[in-house]
Amino acid sequence: ALVTTSIGATFASQGAHNCQILMQADHSLGYSGAMSTLWAQHGSRMFYMGGSARVALLLVVNGLNEVILKKAWEANKEQR
């Protein structure tokens, strides 16, 4: 359930994420300007494009945390 929720939330926020990236690249754009620019360039794809890369990164990082850091977290709990 956690993985499904994380993936869903990532894709649900992808449009806003794309606007944020564009505004960071072009400081003259505000929210409506970024949305207009993205819509003109990509159409409805602006809401999901790049989401698969964010999901892949999310899964890789969470997998590495589970493999590498789980022992450290458990050791820290035992020390308390």
Query: Which pTM does this prediction carry?
Result: 0.73
- pLDDT band of residue 47 (cuts 50, 70, 90) is very high
- pLDDT band of residue 77 (cuts 50, 70, 90) is confident
| Distance in angstroms (rounded) separating the CA atoms of residues 76 and 80 | 7
DSSP annotation of 80:
-
- pLDDT band of residue 74 (cuts 50, 70, 90) is confident
Return the structure tokens found at 34.
């970024």
Residue linked to tokens 């926020």: 13
